[in-house]
Amino acid sequence: MAAVRVGSILILACAIAGLAACGDDKKAAGAKGGATVTIGIAAPLTGPQSHIGKDLENAVRLAAEDANAAKVVVGGKPVHFEVQAEDDQADPKMAPVVAQKLADARVAAVVGHFNSGTTIPASRIYNDAGIPQISPSATNPKYTEQGFKTAFRVVANDNQQGKVVGEYIARELKSKALAIIDDRTAYGQGVADVVERSAKAAGANVVAREFTTDRSTDFKAILTKIKGTRPDVIFFGGIDTQAGPMLQQMRGLGIEAQFVGADGIQSTELFKLGGNAVEGTLASFPGLPLERMPQGASFGERYRKKWNQDVVLYAPQGYDAFNVFVEAMKRAGSTDPAKFLPEVAKTDYNGITGPIRFDEKGDLKDGPITIFKAVGGKWQALATIGGPSQGQGAKAAEKN
């Protein structure tokens, strides 16, 4: 009895679905050279990192608006750009789901994701679907080591970032006792490992390696242990939501070591979360500071006018990623991903973040790394290492 009911309902549903499919030609348009092109943006729009994700979405929307205002023409036809934003909640389980959703919607390209932990699983789906993907912020080296032709990034990766930081700690800070903490996430542990290796190689002495999680708020136990080893520098691989309380607890325990972090802590939120304890902290960023970027100041102005807030972190990279796609489409004369994907690899574009060129893996060539210092409640650029103006191999530091 029940089986008959269930069965008939199911068959009916399938029949309806089948009929719906016949009458549905929405899927045909989109990337196949129609007048409207959708670019996807995937980032954590909800959750503790939503301020960074929203920042990216804002940037891409601004870029789309600018492109539409400029009346871009591709292959002789005017193109109108749309943006489809998806929330991956910084969750590696959610990332493939979101990626599949964007792939099903036949977006022409994707700016995303934000975290390394989400960018890597999603990249598989984009690769299978042939959709070019530029991450504005994922720094884990594995992303471009998978051999996917569709994977690119417009920031330096952790191998480069961690190396610079590790060497800075050893050479500039002349650390004799380095303690390292990471938050056991793909990002935090990845960058901490590279820092440890490169600091040791440059002559620093690592006295402690401790761990926490990306949900903890109590770090007293590990900080006390570290205090016992009397470090002069503490490096933390993790993000601002942990770094803030960690700094407060550090000072509360009377630890006066220099605190260094990577791009995960280099945000405006850190000052709210850590208060006075943040003063003097150093953080690296796989790019240039906004005011040093060729068109950074004007971008910051336009962003503030449109969205009523300052750039949070990776907005310039997101903006540039969008435009790399537009440029590639223009050069290929087509909005079909199969046609403009090879052009993306050949990009030689001057974005607001600086010159953008990709190497054969999809990494940014000559990506600069900036070391920032927290001074008076704001981040001040201290030194820029690497970058195209310095040339290959040279590591000249531009002091502020």
Partner 1 sequence: METARRRRLAWAGLALVAAALAVLPFALASAFGLAWVRVVNLALLYVMLALGLNIVVGFAGLLDLGYIAFYAVGAYCYALLSSPQFGVHLPFWITLPTGFLLAAFFGVLLGAPTLKLRGDYLAIVTLGFGEIIRIFLNNLNAPVNITNGPQGVNLIDPLRLGGFSLASRGSFLGFDFGGPQKYYYALLAITLGIVALNLRLQDSRIGRAWEAIREDETAAKAMGINTRNIKLLAFAMGASFGGLAGGLFASIQGFISPESFGLLESVTVLAMVVLGGMGNIPGVILGAVLLTAVPEVIRYTVVPAQQAMFGRVLVDAEALRMLLFGLALILVMVLRPAGLWPATVRKREFAR
Partner 2 sequence: MDILLQQLINGVTLGSVYALVALGYTMVYGIIGLINFAHGELVMVGALTALSVIAALLRLGLGLPPAAMMLIALLAALPVCMLLAYAMERVAYRPLRRAPRLAPLITAIGVSIVLQNVAMLVWGRSYFSFPPILSVTNYDVAGATITDLQILIVLLSAALMAGLLLIVHRTRLGLAMRATAENLGVAALMGVDANRIIVAAFLLGSALAAVAGLMVSAYYGIAHYYMGFLLGLKAFTAAVLGGIGNIGGAMLGGLLLGVIESLGAGYIGDLTGGFLGSNYQDVFAFMVLVVVLTIRPSGLLGERVSERA
- Binder of partner 2 out of 5, 26, 215, 399 (CB under 8 A): 215
Q: Which is nearer to partner 1, 47 or 78 (CB)?
A: 47
Is position 248 an interface residue for partner 2 (rule: CB under 8 A)?
yes
Q: Which stretch binds partner 1 (CB under 8 A): 20-28, 159-167, 197-205, 322-330?
A: 20-28
Residue 400 interacting partner from partner 2, partner 1, none (CB closer than 5 to 8 Å by kind): none
Are 313 and 284 spatial neighbours (Cβ–Cβ below 8 Å)? Answer: no
Is position 91 an interface residue for partner 1 (rule: CB under 8 A)?
yes
Is position 185 an interface residue for partner 1 (rule: CB under 8 A)?
yes
Residue 1 interacting partner from partner 2, partner 1, none (CB closer than 5 to 8 Å by kind): partner 1
Q: Which is nearer to partner 1, 45 or 164 (CB)?
A: 45
Residue 378 interacting partner from partner 2, partner 1, none (CB closer than 5 to 8 Å by kind): none
Is position 378 an interface residue for partner 2 (rule: CB under 8 A)?
no
Q: Which is nearer to partner 1, 185 or 266 (CB)?
A: 185
Is position 254 an interface residue for partner 2 (rule: CB under 8 A)?
yes
Is position 241 an interface residue for partner 2 (rule: CB under 8 A)?
yes
354: burial class by Cβ within 10 Å (0-12, 13-18, 19+)? buried
Q: Which is nearer to partner 2, 44 or 337 (CB)?
A: 44
Is position 28 an interface residue for partner 1 (rule: CB under 8 A)?
no
Is position 200 an interface residue for partner 1 (rule: CB under 8 A)?
no
Output the CA–CA distances (angstroms, integers) from residue 16 to 4, 11, 24, 27, 31, in the order listed.
18, 9, 12, 18, 27
- Binder of partner 1 out of 92, 245, 316, 337 (CB under 8 A): 92
- C-alpha–C-alpha distance, residues 158 and 163, integer Å: 8
Is position 146 an interface residue for partner 1 (rule: CB under 8 A)?
yes
Within 13 Å and on the Cβ side, how many CA atoms surround 275? 8
Tell me the two tokens of residue 165: 């930081």
Nearest to 341 by CA among 109, 182, 181: 109
Is position 174 an interface residue for partner 2 (rule: CB under 8 A)?
no
Q: Which stretch binds partner 2 (CB under 8 A): 6-14, 172-180, 216-224, 291-299?
A: 216-224
| Binding residues for partner 2 (CB under 8 A) | 46-48, 50-51, 184, 209-213, 215-218, 220-222, 224-225, 227-228, 241, 244-245, 248-249, 252-254, 269, 272-276
Binding site residues, partner 1, CB under 8 A: 1-8, 10-11, 13-15, 17-18, 20-21, 24, 27, 45-47, 87, 89, 91-93, 96-97, 100-101, 103-105, 117, 120-121, 124, 140, 142, 146, 184-186, 188-190, 211
